[in-house]
A and B are shown apart, each in its own frame.
Chain A
């Protein structure tokens, strides 16, 4: 599409034009001056050559001027130059000279041919000029996009490079300066023009321009620049996000490695000496010892066992708090889970106390980590036994409730006040019963942590006949239900 000179006046060409064109076209007076100059120059040259060349042929020299003006200033200036050349040629060279009168019909034909040739030449030259300008603009845009991409690739952050991008794009659009605004679209301020930046229909921000030439934003180049900018901002954003993820992942993996290594070291370093003490003390059971020595030996054995339990608890708690507990889920029979927990307690070193079981038959299978859920139950039962009067049994009831299996551990202890119902699951919080009840205050915290890690819910409520009722709700996967 060829733009008229009038359009050009209204929309000064962008600064993407080729360097030379820009210099020549710099002044508004340049076009008429150059056109007049070339007509005068052509007239002088024709005057110089006419003694030897027939004037009809010498007229061709004017075409050089028309060509030059068309290619520099476009079609309309070219046409003007053609008319001026025709008038000058007629006035100076076509007989009768120094008049605008033409006598011979062949002279009429020559002038007509000249004007026609000049018209075609102007048109062609102007088209070539427009195409050249367009090519120069596209090349400049490509260079700009390349420089944008390099800027974004090298920049430490997207924010650092946005001002440079904005002012380069602004200058390319003929504005004096610009800024890229990344937030929500804001109402344009007076005197500021705004170019929205969208990438795949996603709002990437807007380019706010100062002193933008009228209409510059309606040109195809403006759309191309906006798309290129938006695409690069999206790219920069993506790159920043990836970089951030990478940094986070590295930090996370470092801290995870550290936690795991630390826990492993601590567990090994604490357990091994205790294991050696327990084994060595056990070896002394064959020694000939008097009653007092045997009492000392029992103290060593009992206290090592106690310390060992405390270390296991601390390790479990730190693993839970470090997020280092992973549940190895498999199909479990809730009944078997409870029986194994009770079995573990009954075969333990300390007398377990009375336990009463009320287990429904044909319970659905559940999914969870057998070891971890058994640990939850052992801790709950131990807690119940600790707080119950010696002869009052701890009652364990298992039944299906909706889409889960509820394992309830009921004791006849002092109960848990409603205000404490959540606090008792915090580490080192031993609830209302203090002083006379042994324990580290970690059992319930570990139970809650392991239950959560297995997708179960652990809560406490008052038991119907007094005391507390701890309920472990284990969800039943659809395929766990028995036929």
Chain B
């Protein structure tokens, strides 16, 4: 897929921001469509299915989380949220509804374009079906449940391994606390933050001891975690 044929749908009710995004993305070589609210976005997406959707969390006729949910019913394309500071709960709802990533205002255009590129790259080739996932420094062998950091094996407990595996399988996408707790511990544990914090701390300790920086697992404050460098 070349940039010129890649279609991005921008959903924002603020005209100046929408126009700035349209122009910038167009200059970066993407074909850009735009919508001013959720219902307009659904129509546009149905008429010209986009390869990526950029959604402002606050829309005049509903919120971005609701739109994400409606789009996710039939659209595979990645969804990037744009949110303001302090909208953590809305972000979490949108991520749980199937959004792929988010940016917090104010953000630089460079950051936006980097996220767009990463999302598009991931949507082309998924990690699903691969046996070894992870970053250059951190390799996770799924069938053998072996983690190696810079070539050395890291001994993890089953829970720590599962935690790292889920982060790696997310392929750089943010995982909310809820998502991780449900995937690693089970649906009944979605609120058990103590478990997550404690095991995440120990996992980072072990990775750090093996020469992997603690921040390789990025803390998305109030939202969740993400594995960097994928």
Contact B16 A336 (CB under 8 A): no
> Nearest Cβ distance between residue A368 and chain B, in whole angstroms?
11
Taking a contact as CB atoms closer than 8 A, the residue among A280, A285, A365 that contacts B20 in the complex is A280
Number of interface residues of B (CB under 8 A): 36
Q: When chains A and B are docked, how far (Å) is the Cα of A370 from the Cα of B21? A: 31
Given known A-B contacts A283-B27, A331-B193, A370-B222, A271 and B200 have beta carbons under 8 A apart: no
A60 CA / B88 CA spacing, docked (Å):
102
Instruction: Give the docked Cα–Cα distance between A383 and B106 (Å).
Output: 22
Contact between A331 and B197, CB atoms less than 8 A apart: yes
Picked from B20, B201, B222, the residue with its CB within 8 Å of the CB of A333 is B201
Confirm or deny: A21 has a beta carbon within 8 angstroms of a beta carbon on chain B.
Answer: no
Expressed in whole angstroms, the Cα–Cα distance for A479 and B193 within the complex equals 12
- Tell me, yes or no, whether A305 is within 8 Å of chain B by CB: yes
Please indicate the chain B residues that have their CB under 8 angstroms from the CB of A99 in the complex.
none
A contact residues around B110 at 8 Å (CB): 282, 285
Q: Tell me which residues across on chain A come within 8 A of B105, comparing CB atoms.
A: 271, 275
Please report the C-alpha to C-alpha distance between residue A333 and residue B204 in the assembled complex, in whole angstroms.
12
> Chain A contacts of B24 at CB under 8 A?
279, 282-283, 286
Residues of B with C-beta under 8 A to A312: 85
> Are B197 and A276 in contact (CB-based, < 8 A)?
no
Instruction: Flag if A282 contacts B88 (CB, 8 Å).
Output: no
A335 at the interface (CB under 8 A from B): yes
A-binding segment of B117-125, B150-158, B212-220: B212-220
User: Which residues in window 109-154 of B have CB below 8 A to A?
Assistant: 109-110, 112
Distance between B14 CB and nearest chain A CB, rounded to angstroms = 5
How many chain A residues touch the partner (CB < 8 A)?
Answer: 40
A285 CA to B28 CA in the complex, in Å? 10
Q: Does B17 contact A (CB under 8 A)?
A: yes
Candidates B84, B86, B109, B198; contact of A279 at CB < 8 Å: B109
Does the CB pair A333–B16 fall under 8 Å?
no
Q: Report which of A267, A273, A336, A369 forms a contact with B197, defined as CB distance below 8 A.
A: A336
Q: Which residues of A contact B200 (CB under 8 A)?
A: 333, 336
Q: Is residue A278 contacting chain B, with contact meaning CB distance below 8 A?
A: yes
B108 at the binding interface (Cβ < 8 Å) = yes
Among A267, A308, A369, A371, the most chain B Cβ lie within 10 Å of the Cβ of: A371
- Chain A 264-299, CB within 8 Å of chain B: the 1/0 string? 000100011111101110110110000000000000
Check: B221 CB closer than 8 A to any chain A CB. yes
Q: Which residues of B, 154-203, contact A by the 8 Å Cβ criterion?
A: 193-194, 197-198, 200-201
Which residues of A have CB within 8 Å of B3? none
Task: Give the docked Cα–Cα distance between A374 and B218 (Å).
Answer: 14
Show 24 residue pairs from A and B whose CB-CB distance is below 8 angstroms, ordered by the A residue: A267-B84, A271-B105, A274-B106, A278-B107, A279-B20, A280-B19, A280-B20, A282-B20, A282-B24, A282-B109, A285-B110, A305-B106, A331-B194, A333-B197, A333-B201, A335-B201, A336-B219, A339-B214, A340-B219, A340-B221, A349-B108, A371-B86, A371-B221, A480-B194
Given contacts A272-B17, A276-B14, 19 further A-B contacts (CB under 8 A): A267-B84, A276-B17, A278-B108, A279-B24, A279-B109, A282-B20, A282-B109, A301-B108, A331-B194, A332-B197, A336-B197, A336-B204, A336-B219, A343-B219, A344-B221, A365-B197, A370-B222, A371-B221, A374-B221
